[in-house]
Chains A and B, each alone.
Chain A
């Protein structure tokens, strides 16, 4: 039972490069989220997808795009990476709308932009 799988685990980019962070869940959850975590900042919501086919901006969406490819997969794209995007990125999934239960997190992607 894999749960939430993120790839890659580590990545170093040069300023201006692009990349896509992948996230997949096998729990048949409706909602998926992308967070970034910086020291002392907790988890800040970048984008979320309440259901397949919908995406919405969170607290810090600038510089990112997302795609909810299907119910299982939710990707995060950095079109032109900047040093300010150096962070740990977490993907999470939640069963669905209605009473919220628990967020299940991937293992995180540590991204460094030089």
Chain B
């Protein structure tokens, strides 16, 4: 089992709809979870971070975390064509040495259709 898994997509949604992206992880000790957006040919950029169970909202973006189910999601409301990108889920895998290791999922390609 891979440490971080995502639906590979591609996911297509019409403009104005809600896009839902999902991520599961295997390490129960993980404490920090992140969503990065990556446009084609560019570097990933952080859009959301979440550390506690529940929802965290930032503008049109909502991250949801359920540690018991080892599940993280990202909702994008009122999707825009500019949201078309690959979304990467990242998990901070805590190590016994106390140093952290960051593992990324394979990414979900999102296409917002005008």
Contacts and interface: CB of A to CB of B under 8 A. Distances in A.
Contacts of B32: 99-100
B106 A51 contact: no
A47 B92 CA distance: 15
B8 to A, nearest CB: 6
Interface of B: 6, 8, 31-32, 34, 36, 43-46, 49, 51, 88, 90, 92, 97-107
B97 A90 contact: no
A59 B102 contact: no
A50 B100 contact: yes
A105 B43 contact: yes
Q: Is the interface of A mostly helix, strand, loop or mixed?
A: loop
B46 A50 contact: no
Contact of B43 (A42, A97, A99, A107): A107
A50 B102 contact: no
A43 B88 contact: yes
Contact of A108 (B43, B49, B102): B43
A51 B101 CA distance: 12
Given A40-B106, A102-B49, A58 B99 contact: no
A101 B105 CA distance: 17
Contacts of B98: 97
B33 to A, nearest CB: 10
A107 B43 CA distance: 6
